[in-house]
Structure 1
Amino acid sequence: MNVRASMEELTVDGLCVDAGRQRIVTDVSFSIRAGAPLTLLGESGSGKSLVAQAIMGNLPPELHASGRAVLGGADLLAGSPAARRGRWGRAISLMPQEPWLALDPTMRVAAQVAEVHRHVKGRDARRSARLAQDDLADVGLGHAGSLYPFQMSGGMCQRVAIAIAHAGGSDLVIADEPTKGLDTDLRDSVASRLKREAEDGRLLLTITHDVAVARALGGTVGVMLDGRLVEYGAAGTLLDAPQHDYTRALVAADPQGWARQAPAGGGGVVLCGRGLAKSFGGRTLFRNLDIELRAGEIVSIVGPSGCGKTTVGNILLGLVPPDAGEVARGGGHAPLRFQKLYQDPPAAFIPHQPLRKGLADLARLHGRPWSEVEALLARLRLRNDLLDRRPGQVSGGELQRFAVLRALLLDPVFLFADEATSRLDPVSQKEVIELLVGIVREKGLAMLLVTHDRYLADRISTRVLTLEGRGAQA
């Protein structure tokens, strides 16, 4: 094992995070050593990402951290904001939960990776460009360096963020949901890559709701619930014989174990595409693709990241034109009743506007009573106090549930759910999927679900369409 000369340990003791007088993370303690990664598991809103933000030193200004987090003899919670920022990209690097927001939309991705080598590591331009290409190739994006972030899928953007974090070469890597939106093969590849970073001597803290990732990384696992660390121990022991009720529920909620619950369908045609084809940058995603969605059914599209799954849904909604083929809508429904749940929910919200105002404006504009919002809040397990926060002040999973709420509020006849549960822990994912299946049955809407999880698709879908990429055909 090639162990680097790094800061050998991160010790967190009694970490608390407060929002005014409200304590939202309570007395979290753990340590991370080189070669022994720590993974924090837990549901959306449990405080996992707040722990990472406190260590990183980038908590929102209305939140305050206390306790100790010692790395290389320095308390990361103490000192000035300038001192904390001075560690970013050097002593500590963060792979963000929302790479769509972290990447520069005006720069090609190879240039963004090269910037790290040139400005953080001090290398010349030619070597920086060459190393950036190597970093992208290492995460399966050797062909994508000339693309802009908006030309890439969410999973591809996630891998760019991984390449950037690796390029920084920092002692402590914090990976916040590093595998969400990735297919199984890529997820396993990313987990293997992160584990290799730990084996090479870097300190690794991973935030995830994916039990399979926690198993693959090994080391130590901590389970968080309601801002507390409720279980902590060696990964194999904790995941094979969990002691806490929530940990047992988390492990048991894998879609592979779900009973089949697909709606019967059988209603009239809501939307169909005939002979669809699409290429980007000279690469054919699909051709001669036929797809039909009927009222009361769920059609799922599965396939590897970047194969064109999201593009199919965007074509059906009229957001992207096909290169060939045509789309037809049935029933004479208003365009507003064809809705999309975005893979990256921040794309669907005004960043500076409290969630309450956005939902209130939507309800008022379309004549929906506020009682419908309150009913959906309860069904989606969203607390009322979250309404007074801005989109960036709630967890990714909570924001995704708000996106579900907003789409359902408009009484859709067609719902394009693009990785609708990719940011949710298994327990929350099962609850939201059961809600969506229930809505399909109750309202008779048609749903197109994009997912990387074949087990999930098989359990809830009337039909499953597989895209392989590289000119795949239906």
Structure 2
Amino acid sequence: MSHPLLQATDLTIQGDGVTIAPFSLNLGSGERLTLLGETGSGKSLIAQAIMGTLPRGLTTSGELLIDGTRYAAADVAARRTLWGRRLALLPQEPWHALDPTMRAAAQITESHRHVAGLARADARQATQHDLTELGLEDAGGKLPGELSGGMAQRVAFAAASAGGAPIVIADEPTKGLDAPRRDAVVELLARTPRAGGALLTITHDIDVARRLGGEVVILRQGQVVERGPAQQVLSDPQTEYGRRLLGAEPSRWPAPPPLTSAADATPVVTARGLAKSRGGRLLFQDLDVSVGPGEIVGVVGPSGCGKSTLGDMLLGLASCDAGEIEHAPGHRLGLQKLYQDPPAAFSSHWRLSRLLDDLVRRHDLERSAIAPLMERLGLDGRLLVRRPGEISGGELQRFAILRVLLLKPRLLFADEPTSRLDPITQQQTLSLLVELARERHCGVMLVSHDPALIARVCDRQLALGEATNVNGPAASARPLETASA
């Protein structure tokens, strides 16, 4: 290696209650580094500081060496010419990276043409290759709002990587993807270092870190807790926090408290003979669904199989092609949804305190319930002065859970509600969700691509598309319900 491709020296981020201690990294040709750690520990802020896209109110200092050229970390303008060509960011939130008015294929083609410099015909051919490789053959003609969260994530991945930048920063590139799609994205990420580039990955998925290999850094509260080769850190962590992090993988969780509601209790929702097609493709048909008070039902299946669509139908947000849906009587706020992508569910213009205040006033809720729920969800009160785009994805995900819990729903459709959370925070958050669902007799339909999580949290499962049964308490609690597709 003649020189580092990416080097950060004493990178420091401060402001608005945030302090990221001096952080350094050195990535040469063919090398890879993965950042793990708790939600809000500064992983994404480090990536944004390198790119020069920190939220307002935050400042950075230190020095960067990018492909042989030195930059002051605070000199944002000097690095913008590198975006897409020498330095690429695969963003955590696809909705922040995609034009909502532009079809998927056109966005990827634009990157191939204007960043990579391909001719029009070559750019279109490269786009089709990208779509096929990512399992998006039918998505090219769709707008981002017509895609599932996992599909939008892959489109953003293809658009960001089309320029062929030798230095790639991937922020949660596999969240919301089923295992086969996750493995495909990991394989695509690995191509950058294999081709002589450098890869910096931010993830909460410990298995992704294992597959990528290289070096691993564990962060907590802006500090480096542990650092070393992936095989060593992820098999034999030397710090107490490192051991807690690995011990919180869903496969190691204890079973939830048993469901104790009466067997003859009226279901919060009952659906019979549901069918739905989208874009000329049948998602499911002859589907029967019921959820009892306090029951947690897992919803599994490959990306794009109709999990989110099913939730919208049960909540009255989308029509069904066939079948009927009946809800138990309850208050007008009884049907609620936790969205797969929290940024799409929050106004970006207002502080979080204002958004919660508006909710409390509009629905005459108990303001006194906010602080205890924030504490139970591990949310710092200082975050309330920020806007949704100024906090981490995991923090915003927990604010979404806080907001919906204030409404005390009877039926909650939770669409990947913890996909942005580290294993420790994910376990704590889902334990709280299950506990409150049992206490309040709220039926929950929980979508996840993690079979171990579903097995540990849910009373039973509903499989859509090509999904199959999984091992664990949830699978054996009651017979698996399946839907034909």
Scaled by the length of structure 2, the TM-score of the pair is 0.93
Is 1:440 the counterpart of 2:437? The answer is yes
- Other-structure match for 2:476: none
- Other-structure match for 1:162: 157
The DSSP-based 3-state class of the residue aligned with 1:123 is coil
Offset, 1:422: 0.6
The DSSP-based 3-state class of the residue aligned with 1:382 is coil
- Equivalent runs, 1:451-470 vs 2, <5 Å: 451-468=448-465
- Identity over aligned pairs, percent: 50
Letter matched to residue 292 of structure 2: R
- Other-structure match for 1:272: 270
Offset, 1:202: 1.5
Q: Which moved more, 1:283-292 or 1:367-376?
A: 367-376
Q: Which moved more, 1:228-237 or 1:187-196?
A: 187-196
- Other-structure match for 2:359: 362
Offset, 1:366: 2.0
Q: Which moved more, 1:141-150 or 1:315-324?
A: 141-150
Is 1:340 the counterpart of 2:364? The answer is no
Pair 1:118–1:302, CA change in 2 (3 A):
same
Q: Which moved more, 1:442-451 or 1:8-17?
A: 8-17
Whole-angstrom CA distance in 1 between matches of 2:138 and 2:192: 24
2:5 to 3, 6, 9: 9
Contact 1:177 / 1:206 at 8 angstroms: preserved in 2? yes
- Other-structure match for 1:148: 143
1:229 to 199, 220, 224: 224
Whole-angstrom CA distance in 2 between matches of 1:196 and 1:176: 16
The DSSP-based 3-state class of the residue aligned with 2:100 is coil
1:218-267: CA deviation from partner (whole Å, max 9, x where unpaired)? 00000110011111110001111101111111111111111221541443
Offset, 1:177: 0.3
Is 1:86 the counterpart of 2:81? The answer is yes
- Equivalent runs, 1:168-247 vs 2, <5 Å: 168-247=163-242
Pair 1:6–1:142, CA change in 2 (3 A):
farther
- Equivalent runs, 1:242-321 vs 2, <5 Å: 242-261=237-256, 263-264=258-259, 265-266=261-262, 267-321=265-319
Whole-angstrom CA distance in 2 between matches of 1:126 and 1:263: 59
Letter matched to residue 15 of structure 2: A
Contact 1:286 / 1:469 at 8 angstroms: preserved in 2? no
Contact 1:285 / 1:469 at 8 angstroms: preserved in 2? no
Whole-angstrom CA distance in 2 between matches of 1:74 and 1:180: 33
- Other-structure match for 2:478: none
Offset, 1:73: 2.7
Whole-angstrom CA distance in 2 between matches of 1:344 and 1:138: 24
The DSSP-based 3-state class of the residue aligned with 2:227 is strand
Whole-angstrom CA distance in 2 between matches of 1:202 and 1:59: 24
Pair 1:6–1:210, CA change in 2 (3 A):
farther
- Other-structure match for 1:122: 117
- Other-structure match for 2:20: 25
The DSSP-based 3-state class of the residue aligned with 2:165 is coil
Contact 1:417 / 1:449 at 8 angstroms: preserved in 2? yes
Letter matched to residue 158 of structure 2: A
Offset, 1:347: 1.2
- Other-structure match for 1:384: 381
Offset, 1:469: 5.0
Letter matched to residue 309 of structure 1: K
Contact 1:43 / 1:428 at 8 angstroms: preserved in 2? yes
Letter matched to residue 414 of structure 2: A
- Other-structure match for 1:410: 407
Offset, 1:100: 2.0
Offset, 1:316: 0.2
2:41 to 42, 46, 60: 46
Contact 1:263 / 1:461 at 8 angstroms: preserved in 2? no
Q: Which moved more, 1:359-368 or 1:394-403?
A: 359-368
- Other-structure match for 1:112: 107
1:187-244: CA deviation from partner (whole Å, max 9, x where unpaired)? 1221122112211112110001111010000000001100111111100011111011
Contact 1:308 / 1:467 at 8 angstroms: preserved in 2? yes
Q: Which moved more, 1:79-88 or 1:378-387?
A: 79-88
Whole-angstrom CA distance in 1 between matches of 2:40 and 2:103: 33
- Other-structure match for 2:348: 351
The DSSP-based 3-state class of the residue aligned with 2:288 is strand
Pair 1:263–1:352, CA change in 2 (3 A):
farther
Contact 2:416 / 2:448 at 8 angstroms: preserved in 1? yes
Offset, 1:61: 2.7
Contact 2:84 / 2:161 at 8 angstroms: preserved in 1? no
The DSSP-based 3-state class of the residue aligned with 2:268 is strand
Q: Which structure 2 residue ranges, 5 or more long, are not aligned?
A: 468-481
Letter matched to residue 49 of structure 1: S
Letter matched to residue 155 of structure 2: V
The DSSP-based 3-state class of the residue aligned with 1:430 is helix
The DSSP-based 3-state class of the residue aligned with 2:117 is coil
Whole-angstrom CA distance in 2 between matches of 1:469 and 1:77: 50
- Other-structure match for 1:329: 327
Offset, 1:76: 3.9
Q: Which moved more, 1:316-325 or 1:192-201?
A: 192-201
Whole-angstrom CA distance in 2 between matches of 1:247 and 1:139: 33
Contact 1:95 / 1:162 at 8 angstroms: preserved in 2? yes
Is 1:394 the counterpart of 2:401? The answer is no
The count of residues paired between Structure 1 and Structure 2 equals 468
Contact 1:49 / 1:207 at 8 angstroms: preserved in 2? yes
Whole-angstrom CA distance in 1 between matches of 2:140 and 2:240: 45
Offset, 1:143: 2.4
Contact 1:90 / 1:168 at 8 angstroms: preserved in 2? yes
The DSSP-based 3-state class of the residue aligned with 1:269 is coil
Whole-angstrom CA distance in 1 between matches of 2:207 and 2:229: 15
Offset, 1:53: 0.2
- Other-structure match for 1:473: 484
Contact 2:166 / 2:192 at 8 angstroms: preserved in 1? no
- Other-structure match for 1:62: 57
Whole-angstrom CA distance in 1 between matches of 2:395 and 2:71: 28
Offset, 1:6: 10
Pair 1:401–1:23, CA change in 2 (3 A):
closer
Offset, 1:82: 3.2
Letter matched to residue 420 of structure 2: R
The DSSP-based 3-state class of the residue aligned with 2:216 is strand
The DSSP-based 3-state class of the residue aligned with 2:282 is strand
